Structure 1
């Protein structure tokens, strides 16, 4: 199975934490009011987990960072 990667501007993050469960809980709360697909991602192992809304996904923004998808909700 290949890893999926996405590009986001780090400034568009909804939340981030070293604790996956904290980010997952934030995602569940956020999803109640925002029906978009959410991504829990991480830059590399050992880095914090970051939550992004698919609506903020970027391709042409020079400030984007490549993230590894951990969970898509």
Structure 2
């Protein structure tokens, strides 16, 4: 399910280098806060995974701060 999508890096809930840790933290965050749908996305630098609210996805870049992320998992 690899989908490229635009996110503002400042909207991320967390940035983590390990994919499995990102998934685990996303699941914990969602359960504890009864959060909306989350996505685990690989950053544009291919070094970090970021956790975002799915609703923060942008169909196209609106500002220079918006970057392309590759969605790896929906939580």
Which TM-score band (shorter chain)? 0.7 to 0.9
**Gaps spanning 5+ residues in structure 1: where?**
none
Partner of 1:61: 62
- Per the TM alignment, residue 11 of structure 1 is displaced from its structure 2 partner at its CA by 0.2
Q: Distance in 1 between matches of 2:68 and 2:53?
A: 15
TM-align CA RMSD? 2.1
Q: Distance in 1 between matches of 2:17 and 2:24?
A: 13
Where does structure 1 differ by over 3 angstroms across 4 or more consecutive aligned residues? none
String of CA shifts for 1:25-71, please: whole Å, max 9, x gaps: 21011111234111101135741011101132234531211111111
Partner of 2:51: 51
Q: Distance in 1 between matches of 2:3 and 2:24?
A: 22
- Check conservation: 1:16, 1:50, Cα contact below 8 A: yes
TM-score normalised to the size of structure 1?
0.79
**Gaps spanning 5+ residues in structure 2: where?**
none
1:29 aligns with 2:28: yes
